[in-house]
């Protein structure tokens, strides 16, 4: 069974200390939670664990990787495929996205496909489609839940609970745990009967001190513009232009968290923000669940959008702004992003996840640290020394907004406490 094209060890990917702790615990425990800040490499822990399971397997294994969104599921598929591949490892998908490999949302088709291919299987799915796998009645040897706080959702938990009753090994990864209370008590990640014990909880300071993630820097942007439900798109457009104009650096790469899809679409279609940003030398990307993905006003497939985002993020000379509502907050890995602009008062988990998009270490800095050219965590020598978080602030609420945002950042990145919310 062991004819893999590539191995984790062959790629010279060594687990960091917190990753090694999680990996070691997973070899001892068949169920549990791994709580690691965004940027801490949760995916590599999954990959390392699965690689080890495949290495020692004597019969074909069926393994599931669950993500909150199709875009993230496809990214996870790419990372797993880059590290675990071979003639005896088949990958397939259970969601509605467009992919090259076998894909279905029909439980009977999935069961037939699995039963007629005597190989290892890695199935990539979403929380929305997990119940299709449950309905297929296939065996589950390993299941990895990415962004596992989504598993507490009312509409997803039934399928999650079902897998907990028969999956041989199951692990729940998150940076932002949700606990239960009241009607949702049984659905919280603190329900150890379902989610097991915490196998690893890494404080953010450990990752910062070792230079594995960057510190976020809050940059308040004072504005006299007063925003209301009628002029929100105009005010947001002007704030964006003013913020972008104030940025330093040769090639800012900016993630904009829009207040909602409606305001974002009006801003892009009814104001001159796109033309003005292009005139300033920026390329434009935007994506929402409702309208799809666009690159410089051309609608593209989501895989094309993500690849463009990766390519531009790796180009030190590229200036771009990417607008989104919620869809890019979690999991998406673009180390080149330098700034995020928050146009709305985000819930604590989404705020923490959005900040996490811009504190990834630049690949060149990672290479320079590994080669010994610069010391780890000496951020003044990094090409990307921190992640900038900007929020427009006006009127009487400005100081309160700043205080709340700084408080969340201090809680996570100074006190080392993961942001906790309640299952809805």
Query: Which one, of 87, 84, 80, lies nearest residue 7 by Cα?
Result: 84
How would you classify the pairing of strands 198-201 and 178-179? unpaired
CA triplet 277, 283, 284: central angle to 5 degrees? 80
Confidence band for 331, pLDDT divided at 50, 70 and 90: low
Residue 2 pLDDT exceeds 80: no
Domains of the chain, each with CATH number or no CATH: 4-202 (3.40.50.300), 208-418 (3.40.50.300)
Q: Half-sphere exposure of residue 204, counting CA atoms within 13 Å on the CB side?
A: 27
- Of the listed ranges 27-31, 184-188, 189-193, the least confidently predicted one is 184-188
Residue 172 pLDDT exceeds 70: yes
- pLDDT at position 400 is 79
The pTM is what?
0.91
Confidence band for 308, pLDDT divided at 50, 70 and 90: very high
- pLDDT at position 285 is 96
Classified as helix, coil or strand, 32 is strand
- pLDDT at position 182 is 86
Mean pLDDT over each residue of the chain, to the nearest integer: 91
Confidence band for 5, pLDDT divided at 50, 70 and 90: very low
Beta bridge partners of 174: 35
- pLDDT at position 397 is 67
């Amino acid at each position: 069974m062991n004819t893999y094209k590539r191995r984790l060890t062959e790629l010279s990917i060594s687990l960091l200390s917190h990753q090694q702790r999680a990996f070691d615990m997973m070899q001892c425990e068949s169920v549990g939670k791994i709580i690691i800040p965004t940027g801490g490499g949760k995916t590599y822990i999954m990959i390392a664990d699965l690689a080890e399971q495949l290495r020692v397997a004597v019969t074909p294994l069926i393994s599931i990787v669950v993500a909150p969104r199709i875009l993230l599921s496809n990214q996870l598929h790419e990372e797993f495929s880059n590290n675990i591949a071979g003639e005896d490892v088949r990958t397939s998908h259970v969601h509605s996205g467009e992919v090259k490999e076998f894909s279905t949302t029909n439980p009977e088709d999935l069961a037939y496909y699995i039963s007629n291919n005597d190989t290892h299987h890695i199935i990539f799915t979403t929380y929305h489609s997990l119940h299709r796998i449950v309905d297929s009645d296939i065996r589950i040897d390993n299941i990895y839940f990415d962004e596992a706080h989504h598993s507490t959702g009312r509409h997803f938990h039934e399928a999650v609970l079902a897998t907990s009753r028969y999956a041989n090994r199951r692990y729940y990864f998150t940076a932002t745990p949700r606990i239960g209370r009241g009607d949702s008590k049984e659905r919280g990640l603190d329900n150890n009967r379902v989610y097991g014990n915490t196998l690893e909880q890494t404080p953010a300071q450990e990752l910062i001190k070792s230079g594995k993630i960057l510190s976020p820097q809050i940059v308040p942007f004072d504005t006299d513009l007063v925003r209301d439900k009628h002029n929100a798109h105009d005010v947001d457009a002007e704030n964006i232009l003013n913020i972008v104009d104030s940025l330093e650096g040769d090639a800012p790469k900016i993630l904009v968290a829009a207040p909602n899809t409606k305001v974002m679409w009006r801003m892009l279609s009814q104001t001159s923000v796109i033309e003005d940003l292009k005139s300033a030398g920026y390329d434009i990307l935007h994506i929402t669940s409702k309208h799809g993905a666009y690159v410089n006003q051309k609608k593209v497939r989501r895989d094309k959008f993500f690849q463009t985002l990766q390519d531009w993020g790796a180009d030190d000379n590229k200036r771009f702004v990417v607008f989104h509502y919620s869809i890019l907050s979690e999991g998406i890995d673009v180390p080149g992003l330098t700034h995020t602009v928050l146009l709305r008062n985000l819930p604590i988990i989404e705020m923490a996840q959005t900040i996490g998009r811009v504190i990834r270490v630049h690949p060149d800095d990672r290479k320079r640290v590994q080669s010994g050219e610069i010391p780890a965590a000496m951020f003044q020598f990094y090409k990307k020394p921190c992640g900038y978080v900007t929020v427009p602030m006006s009127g009487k609420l400005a100081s309160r907004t700043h205080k709340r945002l700084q408080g969340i950042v201090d809680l996570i990145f100074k006190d080392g406490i993961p942001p906790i919310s309640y299952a809805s």
